[in-house]
């Protein structure tokens, strides 16, 4: 149990690293106070360009992927191992959403959730990626793609993976992604959401 708690705590702290701020700081820009105000890859791409947004995307994905992969390698064999592995992945995701370094006000977690699923549920992630791309292409909004993928993620994991810990982890992440996108939903309803095509 102690080793499991260490992994969970470490994953949360790693997930809390605000890479959007780290990347944008040399340019004198704070993503929390510019663009959409979200410290994430999409906002950085709008503010600094797609290559910097891609870098933040990779870092946010990686900071969740790494602790999840280590947890699967070292915790799978202990009692309740899958639950500890799932808890580690969820902790990294929560670190991004509620980072201790930023007063618990972080990003929306889409890239970090993808990093967790890349390790634990890669088949589900492979099905969700075209859903995301198609939704963005048809709507012009990254938020629509994120919400569509999040909505289908628990179903994909449920049908492709028998481990209940992974389903509940994915369901928790999906719900929180929707909660974090509530402002986007309001802007979509008002017709005020920023289109990726016009970014």
pLDDT, averaged across the chain: 92
**Mean pLDDT along residues 32-52:** 87
**More confident site: 80 or 128:** 128
Q: Which domain holds residue 154?
A: 2-198
pLDDT, tens only, 103-134:
898 889 999 999 999 999 999 999 999 999 99
Query: Which has the minimum average pLDDT: 8-17, 24-33, 111-120, 150-159?
Result: 24-33
10 Å CB burial of residue 99 (0-12, 13-18, 19+) is buried
pLDDT value, residue 148:
97
**More confident site: 61 or 187:** 61
Question: Using CA atoms, how far apart are residues 58 and 27, in angstroms rounded to an integer?
Answer: 19
pTM confidence score: 0.92
Closest to 92 measured CA to CA, from 71, 73, 78: 71
Reply yes or no on whether the pLDDT at 197 is more than 70: no
Reply yes or no on whether the pLDDT at 196 is more than 80: no
Query: Which has the minimum average pLDDT: 14-18, 102-106, 128-132, 191-195?
Result: 191-195
Reply yes or no on whether the pLDDT at 166 is more than 90: yes
SS3 for 21-88 is HHHHHHHCCCHHHCCCCCCCHHHHHHHHCHHHHHHHHHHHHHHHHHHHHHHHHHHCCCCCHHHHHHHH
How many domains does the chain contain in total? 1
CB 82 within 8 A of CB 107: no
**Mean pLDDT along residues 42-57:** 91
């Amino acid at each position: 149990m102690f080793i499991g708690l260490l992994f969970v705590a470490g994953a949360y702290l790693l997930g809390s690293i605000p890479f959007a701020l780290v990347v944008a700081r040399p340019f004198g820009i704070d993503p929390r106070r510019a663009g959409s105000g979200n410290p994430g890859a999409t906002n950085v791409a709008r503010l600094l360009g797609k290559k910097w947004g891609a870098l933040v995307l990779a870092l946010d994905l990686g900071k969740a992927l790494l602790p999840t992969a280590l947890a699967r390698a070292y915790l799978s064999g202990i009692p309740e191992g899958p639950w500890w592995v799932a808890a580690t992945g969820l902790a990294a995701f929560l670190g991004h959403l509620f980072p201790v370094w930023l007063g618990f006000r972080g990003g929306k977690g889409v890239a970090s959730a993808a990093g967790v699923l890349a390790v634990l549920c890669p088949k589900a992630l492979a099905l969700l990626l075209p859903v995301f791309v198609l939704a963005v292409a048809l709507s012009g909004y990254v938020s629509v793609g994120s919400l569509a993928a999040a909505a289908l993620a628990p179903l994909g994991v449920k049908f492709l993976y028998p481990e209940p810990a992974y389903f509940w982890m994915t369901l928790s992440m999906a719900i929180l992604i929707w909660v974090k996108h509530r402002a986007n939903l309001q802007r979509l309803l008002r017709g005020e959401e920023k289109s990726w095509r016009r970014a």
